[in-house]
Structures are given as structure tokens and as C-alpha cells.
Amino acid sequence: MTATLERGARAAQTPALRHRLAERGVDRQLLLLAPAVLFVVLLFLYPFFYGLQLSFAPEEGGPLGSYAAFFSDPYQRNTIWITLGLSLPAALLNVLASVPIAYRMRGSFRGKRLLTIVLVVPITLGTVLTAQGLLNFLGPAGWFNKVLLSFGVDEPVQLVGNYWGVFFSLVITGFPFAFLLILSYLSGIDPTLERAAATLGADWKARFRYITLPLLAPGLATTFCLAFVLAFSVFPSAVLVGNPAGETRVLALAAYQAAYEQYDYSLASAIAMVMGAVELLVIAVVLLWRSRLYTGSTGGKG
């Protein structure tokens, strides 16, 4: 009885729509978000869906024609495996190599800032100088092969113009990013946790295995994702230090050639969509694994 009365009273003086929205957190302040949302919609989502629609509207062969053309041609289809074959090992190596180095560099010691800067310098090189440098340094007449020859290796090792050239350029450009992120995550773990474990008699192996690694694992997953994204979109170095017609014909290159050499925008969009899908698939797998890990405070956040 009273309940119905109350409800009637409330209906009689319903607060204005503005108030009801404000109660749920919607008010004029949200307008500050509008430019950014508009921007993402206009410049990212609209082109993305435009491309998606374009990929299903080829000039001939029905709605799935472009995808059929891509997957039925082994020369095109194999670019997926080539790209994954380059980017997965490169991202894994970058992340796994960063862990012990960052682990050694957690504390404060003399020259840490300098060493960090030196390790981060490759970010400034950019893909093109790296490519040029690799061509000069690892080429048949470069310093690397000269050193090898003077140590008694019979003939120069072929390290550019193939898989390894691109792989090295991915390591050089990708390692600093992975290292910086891992160092951040490691520095964010409260050092007193490890000291507590040490007072309980854990040696460094046990401390790493049971304290640091579980706290670091989510960060490892995130870093792997970012390193993988970086390596997956490899394009300039695949052309410059790789073998763009054969073993390093990556997805990005195939998409570029379809768009700007064959002017088949439908096929290019289709390849771009396949590229995005493959990448998101790998990331989803990694993040799924990450979601099963501990994701709380690492004690270091302020």
C-alpha cells in the first residue's frame, strides 16, 4: 500500500531527464570526450568499415571474390605464414632476451641511465637507417664478414637479402621497446616482497620462480603483444634488407602491391582485413592466457 503510494508520488514529480542522466554519470562534462570520439569514428572506424565493405565488393567474383582470390593463390596465401614466421620468433626473442637483462638492471647502479639510453638508441634509428646499416655491416664485404673471415671462416655468410636480414632488423628495432616495457614492469614490482622471501630462505631461483615471475607474467603478455604488433606490420625492412619477391614477402607488402601496383583496392582491403584478423587472433590467444594469471597490484604502484 505504502509502496504504491510512494511510486505514485515519485511518478508525479519525476526529476528532469538531465538529473536522471546525471545520476548515471552522463552530463555536460562528457562533451569533452566528444572531439576524440568523433575523431576515432571519422578517421578510424569509418575507413575501417569502408575497407571492410570494399573487401566484400570486388569487381568480379561475387562478394567473397577477393578473399577467394587471396586464399586460392599460394603465392598470396603463404604471406600469412611468412609474416608469422618472422614476427612470432622476433617478438619472442625480444621479450625473452629483455627479461634477464632488465632483471640485472633493476637496482640502482652507476651508469644505469647511460646504459638505458644506449639500449634505447635503436628507437631513433628507424627502419630505414637500420636497413642501410645492416646492408653495409652484414653485407658480403662488411665488417661482420671481415671479422669472420679473419677468424678463418671460409666464405662470407649471406645475412642480408633473405630471412635473416629482416629478422635482425626486427630485433634491432623491436628490442628497445620490449626492454623498456619489461624494465618498467620489473621496476614496478615492490622489491621488499623479494627481500621478505629472502629472509625466509628462498634462493634467487626460488625468488624468481615464485615471486617475480608470477607478478611479471601479465606484463610479459602485454609486452609480447606490443612487440608482436610492431614486428607483424614489418614493411620497409622486408623490402630493403629482405627478399621481397620470395621468402620475405610479408602481408603488408602484399596489401601494398595490390593497392598501389595492381590498383585492386578490393583485394588490398581484403588482405588488410586478413592481416588485422590474424594479428587480433594471436593477441586474443595471448590475452586469454593472460586473463588466467594474477592481475592485481604488484606493490610498486603509488
Partner 1 sequence: MATVAPARRPIVASPGAWLVWGVVAFFLINLAGVVGSVLVSSFGTQWFGTWLPDGFTTSWYARAWQEFQLFDVVLVTLQISLLVVVISVLIGVPAAYVLARRSFPGKQLVYFAFLLPILMPPITYGIPLATVLYKYGFAGNMSGVVLANLVPSVPFVILTMTPFIEQINPSIESAARMCGAGMRALFLRVLGPLLVPGILAASILVLVRTVGMFELTFLTAGPDSQTLVVALYYSMSAAGIRAQQSVDAMAVIYTGTMLVLLVIALRYVNPTQLVARVKEAPEP
DSSP 297: -
Q: How many residues does the chain have?
A: 302
**Least distance to partner 1 from the beta carbon of 87, Å?**
10
* φ, ψ for residue 92, nearest 5 deg: -60, -45
Nearer to partner 1, 7 or 45 (CB): 45
**Least distance to partner 1 from the beta carbon of 132, Å?**
5
Nearer to partner 1, 10 or 112 (CB): 112
Nearer to partner 1, 8 or 35 (CB): 35
3-class SS string, the chain: CHHHHHHHHHHHCCCCHHHHHHHCCCCHHHHHHHHHHHHHHHHHHHHHHHHHHHHCCCCCCCCCHHHHHHHHCHHHHHHHHHHHHHHHHHHHHHHHHHHHHHHHCCCCCCCHHHHHHHHHCHHHHHHHHHHHHHHHHHCCCCHHHHHHHHCCCCCCCCCCCCHHHHHHHHHHHHHHHHHHHHHHHHHCECHHHHHHHHHCCCCHHHHHHHHHHHHHHHHHHHHHHHHHHHHHCCCHHHHHCCCCCCCCCCHHHHHHHHHHCCCCHHHHHHHHHHHHHHHHHHHHHHHHHHHCCCCCCCECCC
Nearer to partner 1, 46 or 210 (CB): 46
Cα separation, 94 vs 160, whole angstroms: 20
**Least distance to partner 1 from the beta carbon of 136, Å?**
4
**Least distance to partner 1 from the beta carbon of 100, Å?**
5
**Least distance to partner 1 from the beta carbon of 33, Å?**
5
Nearer to partner 1, 58 or 219 (CB): 219
Nearer to partner 1, 5 or 151 (CB): 151
Nearer to partner 1, 5 or 19 (CB): 19
Contact in structure between 131 and 240 (CB atoms under 8 Å): yes
Contact in structure between 94 and 167 (CB atoms under 8 Å): no
Nearer to partner 1, 68 or 278 (CB): 278
**Least distance to partner 1 from the beta carbon of 193, Å?**
10
**Least distance to partner 1 from the beta carbon of 7, Å?**
24
End-to-end CA distance of the chain: 52
